[in-house]
Amino acid sequence: MNKILKSLLLMPLLVLSVGATAAQYTEGEQYTKVSETVTKKKEVREYFSIYCPHCMTFESFAHDLKKSLPADAKFVRNHVDFLRAASPKVQAMITKSIVVAEQMDNTDKLVGAIFNYVQVQRAVITSEKDLRNIFVLNGADGEKFDKLMKSFSVNSQAKSLKKSQDTMSAKRALTSVPAIFVNGKYRVNAAKLDKNNLEQDYKNLVKYLLELDS
């Protein structure tokens, strides 16, 4: 009886908590609806570019955001190819290398090394060999890199990322990076979040959006 009583007493508090969160976030303010449908599975997708300085700064928070997600939500890195710093062909090659990095150990280290090569060392990526050297210098197996870059699965994933980018770009929902989209339906408007507690407010909004259509 005591357990039932406690549960009944807690119910108004839970309802109040959910209501307070819903009232805190408003469509058109903290987030924008970019599609009428959601992805089949819960997903947080980061659109970014190795050639974007702000994306490099955003990396550490992206790692924290990924760790904060519920177990049933997937974090997807979606490298884009529309920045003018390099040709679409080179940027597409980098997209493939990031897919490869996600199939190796020390994924974050490898992606960070590509960022460092471009943003810190100010070096230029012109070929797959350049990317291979970055990977090998950071502990990756060169032969495995070669094999994966040619694999059907990596090429299929890269094409899927490109399709996702093009779909959101065509809707004018994706015009700059970094950008976070939740469940393929909502885009986070970071400029409208609490500047005094930005990171936590960002995480709270993402969790709210993940459950919005449940």
* CATH code that applies to domain 22-211: 3.40.30.10
- Of 37, 20, 31, nearest to 183 by C-alpha is 37
Cα distance from N-terminal residue to C-terminal residue, the chain? 31
Domain boundaries, the chain: 22-211
pLDDT at residue 1, as a whole number:
46
210 neighbors 44 (Cβ within 8 angstroms):
yes
Distances (CA, A) of 192 to 27, 34, 50, 94: 11, 17, 25, 31
What is the model's pLDDT at position 27?
96
Quick one: pLDDT at residue 67?
A: 96
Helix orientation angle between 142-150 and 88-101, rounded to the nearest 10 degrees:
120
Q: What is the pLDDT of residue 23?
A: 55
pLDDT given for residue 22 in this prediction:
54
At residue 138, the pLDDT reads: 97
**201 strand-pairing partners:** none
pLDDT mean values, one per 10 residues, the chain (214 residues)? 42 42 82 96 98 97 97 97 96 98 95 98 98 98 98 98 98 97 98 96 97 88
